Amino acid sequence: MMDLPTLLQILDSTIRLGTPLLLACLAGLFSERAGIFDIGLEGKMLAAAFLSAAVAFVTGSVWLGLVAGIVASLLMSAIHGLASITFRGNQLISGVAINFLASGLTVLLGQYWFALGGRTPSLEGAARFAPITLPFAEELRGVPVLGPVYRELISGHTALVYVALLAVPASWWLLYRTRFGLRLRAVGENPAAVDTAGVSVVGIRYAAVAICGLLTGLAGAYLACSLSAGFVKEMTAGRGYIALAALIFAKWRPWQALGATMLFGLLEAVANRYQSLNLWGLPLPVQFMQALPYILTVIILAGFVGKAIPPRAGGQPYVKER
């Protein structure tokens, strides 16, 4: 049987590892709800991770690094928006191009600036996000069950973890309780009807792409300045694609996105904790454990969990009728 401290450690790792996936998944949710498919989540996160780590190291301020990461991601989003919305290009090809662009630029600039093979120097002190101890965490540590859960699982995370968790109800409220959210969802389903009502389809889609850039910027900065202590080559490791799979699993809904991304985070946490397992007497090699999140991604994308229906106007450039 698993004891409480071990369970709490696994769940704590689940939250930490699921946070960048959650932010990227919500980013894709806003973009795709507005009808803009975004395969480029991976590239945006990578660009944000690199620039946030580079600026945080040079300035010694993680907050300036965070701003720089968001700016990098917003620039990538602007490129994707320009190609997909203004020039009505193929959204999938634009997203793939952003991934290649970010992959090459981060290594090139990293080598040029720091000469460390494409990575940044290690971040220390004020250049990294520090964990936040919530009120009464120490006072409640002696309370059975509740104390350890509050102190070890709820308290002790960095600011961006709490931002990501708060972004879930905020996204739900924005999408389902505001006029902007209603218009954004309508643009993803029937842009012609929105245009007929006098609302700018282009404006709404650019706003959704900008929100996507903001959230992927947070995800990339979290990877480099919180989960890790600097940037390394290809450090996103497919998280953008996993976030897309989680988005499909969640059927483009915020609360389901939380559950889906934490499921992927749990698999990664278990793989990190148990390098090998015996399942009914059958030994599972370490390679299988490390591949678990990617195996689940393939299963979900293959449609194992049921048919998920994307927004009807997704992937289609809008041409205004004259």
Angle between helices 254-273 and 159-176 (to 10 degrees): 150
What pLDDT score was predicted for residue 1?
A: 52
Q: Is residue 314 part of a domain?
A: no
Ramachandran angles phi, psi of 279, nearest 5°: -110, 105
Q: Is residue 24 part of a domain?
A: yes
Longest dimension (CA), the chain: 70
Q: Is residue 310 part of a domain?
A: no
Residue type, 308: A
What pLDDT score was predicted for residue 279?
A: 66
With beta carbons less than 8 A apart as the criterion, state whether 118 and 107 touch.
yes
What pLDDT score was predicted for residue 22?
A: 97
Answer yes or no: is pLDDT of 202 > 90. yes
Q: Is residue 322 part of a domain?
A: no
Residues 6+ away with beta carbon under 8 Å from 182: none
What pLDDT score was predicted for residue 276?
A: 67
The residue segments making up the domain with residue 97 are 4-301
What pLDDT score was predicted for residue 139?
A: 85
pLDDT mean over 101-113: 94
Q: What is the pTM of this model?
A: 0.94
Q: Is residue 289 part of a domain?
A: yes
Q: Is residue 212 part of a domain?
A: yes
Query: pLDDT tens, 125-139?
Result: 999 999 999 998 888
pLDDT mean over 193-201: 92
Lowest-pLDDT choice from 103-112, 136-145, 151-160: 136-145
Residue type, 171: S
Q: Can you give the CATH number for the domain in which 248 is found? A: 1.10.3470
pLDDT-derived band of residue 164, with 50, 70 and 90 as boundaries?
A: very high
Answer yes or no: is pLDDT of 305 > 60. no
What pLDDT score was predicted for residue 2?
A: 65
Q: How many domains does the chain have?
A: 1
Answer yes or no: is pLDDT of 186 > 70. yes
What pLDDT score was predicted for residue 274?
A: 78
Q: Is residue 320 part of a domain?
A: no
pLDDT mean over 139-144: 84
Query: pLDDT tens, 34-44?
Result: 999 999 999 99
With beta carbons less than 8 A apart as the criterion, state whether 175 and 207 touch.
no
Residue 142 CA to residue 22 CA, distance in Å, equals: 32
With beta carbons less than 8 A apart as the criterion, state whether 81 and 205 touch.
yes
Query: pLDDT tens, 251-304?
Result: 999 999 999 999 999 988 988 887 766 666 777 777 777 787 888 778 877 775
Answer yes or no: is pLDDT of 306 > 70. no
* Residue whose token pair is 């449609």: 303
Query: pLDDT tens, 28-75?
Result: 999 999 999 999 999 999 999 999 999 999 999 999 999 999 999 999
The mean predicted confidence, pLDDT, of the chain is 91
Q: Is residue 173 part of a domain?
A: yes
What pLDDT score was predicted for residue 89?
A: 92
For residue 154, the 8-state DSSP code is I
What pLDDT score was predicted for residue 68?
A: 97
Which percentage of the chain shows pLDDT scores above 90?
71
- Cα distances (Å, whole numbers) of residue 159 to 61, 117, 127, 176, 222: 14, 30, 14, 26, 9
Residue 115 CA to residue 285 CA, distance in Å, equals: 36
What is the Rg, in whole angstroms, of the alpha carbon atoms belonging to the chain?
20
